[in-house]
């Protein structure tokens, strides 16, 4: 006799885990693709440099943009639109250029291509390597996808047979753990790299550059890791519930008359 109750009652929990994984996956994709459109930038940037103070330092620096934004797959730049009454600044012109995966952003090179770079030779300021955090983000997404597919197969199999495919569910659970770890490391690494350049930095006499992190980018990337950890926690709960269901099924089987 097939007993469905002890196991099919866990389907809502498994579906909830799938939802958490999907949300984490979507957030990771948003972090990866931030800045690919001129309509969506600003606070979605990994790091923004205000270089407007450089424009008057040399006649050859008139081609330097007021600001530069770096993202995982693009670099945006443009000019400020200053309100004469309030003095507030908004981004007016925006130009975004696609970058190869894992590129290294160099503010010195950006400035040199449009004028005289005031950064001292050999200075690491304004240089950020995206390869490691981006690779980790991609690996984390791949593991999250593996976890999602394995648990989805488990749900379908459970609905059809009433018996949980333990191997598939274990694969889904085991894949979710390194996915959460890798996404967390990716978020921590990009945060630490960008944080080193945040604030005001004096480049030369009377020339100060300001840099800040886009809050929405970091909210998204850390939430992606957070939702993955939530999936891991609920997977542990699901594992205990399924183990309890197996124990209950075995107990009932022993009570059946020979």
Q: What is the pLDDT along the chain (258 residues), one digit of tens a residue?
A: 344 456 777 888 999 999 999 999 999 999 998 877 656 556 789 999 988 877 665 655 667 888 899 999 999 888 876 654 444 555 567 888 899 999 999 888 888 776 666 776 667 788 999 999 999 999 999 999 999 999 999 999 888 887 888 899 899 999 999 999 999 999 999 999 999 999 988 877 677 888 999 899 999 999 999 999 999 999 998 888 877 776 766 666 665 555
Domain count, the chain: 1
Residue 224 near residue 187, CB atoms below 8 Å? yes
Cβ neighbors of 195 (< 8 A, separation 6 or more) are: 213
Please name which of 101, 182, 194 lies closest in space to residue 145, comparing C-alpha atoms.
Answer: 182
Cβ neighbors of 248 (< 8 A, separation 6 or more) are: 6
| Claim: this prediction has a pTM higher than 0.95 | no
Q: Which domain holds residue 102?
A: 5-255
């Amino acid at each position: 006799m097939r007993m469905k109750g002890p196991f099919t009652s866990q389907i809502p929990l498994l579906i909830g885990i799938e939802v958490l994984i999907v949300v984490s996956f979507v957030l990771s994709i948003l972090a990866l693709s931030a800045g690919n459109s001129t309509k969506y930038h600003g606070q979605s940037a990994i790091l923004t440099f205000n270089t407007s103070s450089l424009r008057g330092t040399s006649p050859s620096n008139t081609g330097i943009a007021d600001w530069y934004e770096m993202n995982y797959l693009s670099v945006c730049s443009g000019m400020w639109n200053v309100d004469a009454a309030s003095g507030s600044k908004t981004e007016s012109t925006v130009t975004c250029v696609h970058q190869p995966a894992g590129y290294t952003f160099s503010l010195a090179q950006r400035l040199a291509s449009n004028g005289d770079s005031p950064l001292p030779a050999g200075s690491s300021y304004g240089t950020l390597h995206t390869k490691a955090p981006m690779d980790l983000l991609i690996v984390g997404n791949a593991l999250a996808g593996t976890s999602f597919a394995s648990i989805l197969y488990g749900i379908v199999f459970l609905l059809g047979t009433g018996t949980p495919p333990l191997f598939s569910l274990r694969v889904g659970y085991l894949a979710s753990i390194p996915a959460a770890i890798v996404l967390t490391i990716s978020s921590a690494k990009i945060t630490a790299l960008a944080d080193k350049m945040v604030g005001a930095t004096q480049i030369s006499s009377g020339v100060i550059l300001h840099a800040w992190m886009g809050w929405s980018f970091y909210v998204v990337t850390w939430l992606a890791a957070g939702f993955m950890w939530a999936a891991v926690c609920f997977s542990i709960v699901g594992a205990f519930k399924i183990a309890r269901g197996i124990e209950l099924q075995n107990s009932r089987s022993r009570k059946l008359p020979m």
